């Protein structure tokens, strides 16, 4: 089984609809992240969470919200989807074992979201 | 603030040829640097990382990268390309004070010609 899973894998929706993307992990990591990937722009950080009670905005948080329901679950919501939110969305996890702040991030398979 | 620049959005090499993917970084404090690979329809996976232990870093699948502070570079190389290396490659940077936030470059798509 995959360590970081994302649901759904693909979603087509209409402008103005509320959408939730879900991420679950079995790695036991404390830190979780949401990114969006656009062609030619790489990955940009939307939100990140260091534990259930610690949630922080990334560089492009406008139009998005998140919920850390448990250490293993981190959801991303688009309250009112718009076409320029069409992108590939990735969830990632990392831990701070050993006190390291530069541990690698482990990525889910991604969710392809299309907003019409 | 940190940043990463990947030179060349698309690189094409022949099978068996040298692979060179370029990455330059900007950081006011000592950086930690990564190369990630993304195969079609998959998430990113770590190829290698530099964390100040050694300037020449060896990764998976025969890739390596050399940290050059004087050139602020962290180029990725592989002596002999294989068809299975076709993918998108991302250079990324973080620092001790960045609290695990990683800044990604825009990516380089590597194509392999038979």
pLDDT of A11: 96
Which residues from A are below 8 Å from B49, CB to CB?
Answer: 102, 104
CA distances, A79 to each of A19, A31, A36 (Å): 7, 24, 16
* pLDDT of A16 over the 80 cut: yes
Closest residue in A to B106 (Cα–Cα): A42
Is A105's CB within 8 Å of B49's CB? no
Is A48's CB within 8 Å of B101's CB? yes
Q: Give the pair of three-digit tokens for residue B11.
A: 């690189």
> Which residues does B contribute to its contact with A (CB < 8 Å)?
9, 32, 34, 41-46, 49, 51, 90, 94, 96, 98-102, 104-107
pLDDT of A38: 92
pLDDT digits (tens, 9 = 90+) for A38-78: 988 889 999 999 889 999 999 899 999 999 999 999 999 99
Per-residue pLDDT tens listing for chain B (114 residues): 788 999 999 999 999 999 999 999 998 888 889 999 999 888 899 999 998 778 999 999 999 999 999 999 999 999 999 999 999 999 999 876 666 678 999 999 999 999
pLDDT of B96: 67
Q: How many CB atoms lie within 10 A of CB A4?
A: 23
pLDDT of B85: 97
By the 10 Å C-beta count (0-12 exposed, 13-18 middle, 19+ buried), A51 is classed as: exposed
Who wins on pLDDT, A35 or B29? A35
């Amino acid at each position: 089984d995959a360590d970081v899973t994302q649901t759904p894998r693909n979603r087509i929706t209409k402008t103005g609809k509320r959408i939730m993307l879900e991420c679950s992990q079995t790695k036991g990591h404390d830190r979780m992240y949401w990114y969006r990937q656009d062609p030619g722009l790489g990955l940009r950080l939307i939100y990140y969470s260091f534990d259930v009670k610690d949630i922080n905005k990334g560089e492009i948080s406008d139009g998005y919200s998140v919920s850390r329901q448990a250490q293993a679950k981190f959801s991303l919501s688009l309250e009112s989807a718009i076409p320029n939110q069409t992108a590939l969305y990735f969830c990632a996890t990392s831990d701070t074992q050993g006190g390291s702040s530069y541990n690698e991030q482990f990525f889910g398979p991604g969710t392809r979201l299309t907003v019409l | 603030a940190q940043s990463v620049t990947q030179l060349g959005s698309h690189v094409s090499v022949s099978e068996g040829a040298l692979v060179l993917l370029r990455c330059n970084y900007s950081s006011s404090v000592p950086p930690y640097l990564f190369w990630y690979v993304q195969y079609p329809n998959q998430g990113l996976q770590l190829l290698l990382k530099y964390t100040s232990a050694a300037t020449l870093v060896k990764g998976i699948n025969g890739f390596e990268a050399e940290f050059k502070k004087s050139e602020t570079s962290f180029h990725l190389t592989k002596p002999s390309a294989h068809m299975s290396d076709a993918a998108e490659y991302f250079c990324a940077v973080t620092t001790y004070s960045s609290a695990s936030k990683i800044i990604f470059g825009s990516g380089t798509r590597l194509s392999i010609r038979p």
